[in-house]
Amino acid sequence: MTQPMQLWYWPTPNGWKITIALEEMELPYEVAPVNIGRGDQFSAAFQAVSPNGRMPALVDPTAEGGPLSIFESGAILQHLGRISGRFYPQETRARAEVEQWLFWQMGGLGPMAGQAHHFRSYARAMTDDQRHLAYGVRRYTNEVNRLYGVLDRRLESREFIAGDYSIADMAIWPWILPKAQGQSLEDFPHMKAWHERVGARPAVQKGRAVGKELRRDLAASGTEAEAARRMLFGQRAQR
């Protein structure tokens, strides 16, 4: 492969999944930053490749039949695993193991952890309704705790989530952010050991660092931060 992938990206857990995979699979890529605090996700150029207006998205210029646009991080991981022949097994049972944990992250850990981040950080700067805010904090913090427990039990007798190291590990690892999610890894020793094991991989460290200079703290105060939060949560500026 000579032409690089085009990755529409911002340094968040869903973005890190893809940079980690690209680094692990040694696939060439170029980053097109999507500043979600400035509203780049609403641009026509981005929505042409990501109709849902969420990053990441990927354009593979080498796909059979011409350039292929893919949105949704799980679908991107599957595509990269197929074309590289790495970290995504072909055997039916092994592939099913990887896919069920990939979808567990997509449908469970990611959305629940995202809500925990929202209520524990951003929402405090967006509402004075402390009663409902407290409920949201409790609801999603508790659910992330449950999901951490699921993962901890899974890792009690294995080094990686679905057998060998795979795109399932790449999808789940970036979403383990215990401080932001009100958790302690000390309560989940098997998951903690796995998190350290994956985090020690050079490609994971390199992928996690992509675009670190771009990220800004949307939980900060001030007019600029308020405008960024409105963009991030889909409240487009009034015209």
Q: What is the pLDDT of residues 112-156, one digit of tens each?
A: 999 998 888 877 766 666 777 889 899 999 999 999 999 999 999
Q: To the nearest 10°, the Cα dihedral for 173, 5, 60, 172?
A: 0
Half-sphere exposure at residue 31, Cβ-oriented, CA atoms within 13 angstroms: 19
Report d(CA 239, CA 26) in Å as an integer. Answer: 44
pLDDT given at position 83: 97
Only one residue has tokens 């695993």, namely 81
Domain 92-200, CATH class in plain words: mainly alpha
**Tell me: the pLDDT tens digits for 209-233?**
999 888 764 445 454 455 444 555 5
Residue 37 pLDDT exceeds 80: yes
Q: Which residues make up the CATH 3.40.30.10 domain(s) of the chain?
A: 5-86+208-232
DSSP character for 178?
A: T
pLDDT in tens, 163-188: 999 999 999 999 999 999 999 999 99
Q: Mean per-residue pLDDT for 44-62?
A: 95
Which one is the CATH code of 5-86+208-232: 3.40.50.300, 1.10.10.10, 3.40.50.720, 3.40.30.10? 3.40.30.10
Q: Within the chain, which residue ranges are assigned CATH 1.20.1050.10?
A: 92-200
Pairing state between β 68-71 and 5-9: unpaired
Angle at 198 between CA 17 and CA 103, to 5 degrees: 45
> Can you count the helices (H) and strands (E) in the chain?
10, 4
- Measured between alpha carbons, how far is 222 from 26 in angstroms, rounded to an integer? 41
Identify the DSSP state of 105. Answer: I
**3-class DSSP state for residue 97?**
helix
Residue 121 main-chain phi, psi, to 5 deg: -125, -70
